[in-house]
Amino acid sequence: MTLISTRSSYDAALALLRDRPLVVLTGAGLSTDSGIPDYRGPGAPARMPMTYQEFVSGPAAQQRYWGRSHLGWSRMRGAEPNAGHVALAALDPELLITQNVDGLHERAGSRRMVALHGRIADVVCLSCRSVTSRASLQAQMASLNPSWIATHSGATARPDGDVELEDTAGFVVPACSCGGPLKPDVVFFGENVPKARVSRCYEAVDALESSGGALLCVGTSLTVMSGFRFVRRAAKAGTPVVIVNRGGTRGDELATYKVEAGCTEFLTELAG
């Protein structure tokens, strides 16, 4: 691994990536310039999202989740793609793999992509498995809890569309038309990423070996295996790996270059 500390080395990482096929893996650090906090960036407080096992434990946990998420999503849906999202759309990599659920890559115009953990804008029923719009559910929750947002407007935003709020007693949670419990159609901690998504990502990463491509990881600490496995796969095949992140990552020792820089700054230069 080469740690980037000089402009010449930074430029060397850019040169490595230019004019070759790319697969790009993004994390929450890319969306911080859009006003969405991340989990593990420098200075970020310790945060632990609700696990899947806790969510399915019963109505009390689901009330706690939706009472916070109703507030958080009302803010997240107002976030706009930043220049880093726009630069990635212009680069149009062979595949864009995002761990983010905010939908900002799609809104920026990225086409060939896998939302590894799903999208917060969709809702799934745990009983009948029907998928519906989060906007529709948000309207239902607002109707059932008309003063909730105004009463808790000071709650601190967290990643993944929720807020810091301890007391959610009294929040009314809508059910599916079949009566089943509703869950955002995203992969919670403790859930597995659907196999078809993982397979598509592996295929794209594997193809880099024969095409002379590279794997670029941007704004992710690679702490969770769902993203880190692609770095391990690429490194094992001898494919160049560039990691752009402020702060250390789990994949640093496997990287060809580790760039300590802002995501937006680096991607804008790469696309320029």
Catalytic positions, written as ranges: 117
Binding residues: 125, 128, 176, 178
Q: Is 43 buried (19+), middle (13-18) or exposed (0-12) by CB count in 10 A?
A: exposed
**With contact defined as beta carbons under 8 Å apart, do 94 and 204 qualify?**
yes
Binding residues for Zn(2+): 125, 128, 176, 178
**Bridge partner residues of 107 (DSSP):** none
Q: Is 207 buried (19+), middle (13-18) or exposed (0-12) by CB count in 10 A?
A: middle
Q: What 3-state class would DSSP assign to 160?
A: helix
Q: What 3-state class would DSSP assign to 2?
A: strand
Greatest pairwise CA separation for the chain in angstroms: 60
Among candidates 121, 129, 124, which has minimal Cα distance to 105? 121
Q: What is the DSSP letter of 6?
A: S
Q: Per-residue b/e over 158-196, b at no fewer than 16 CB within 10 Å?
A: bbbbbbebeebeebebbebeeeebbbbbbbbeebebeee
Residues 6+ apart with CB under 8 A from 150: none
Q: Where are the alpha helices (DSSP H) in 175-254?
A: 195-211, 225-236
Q: Which two tokens stand for residue 23?
A: 């697969």
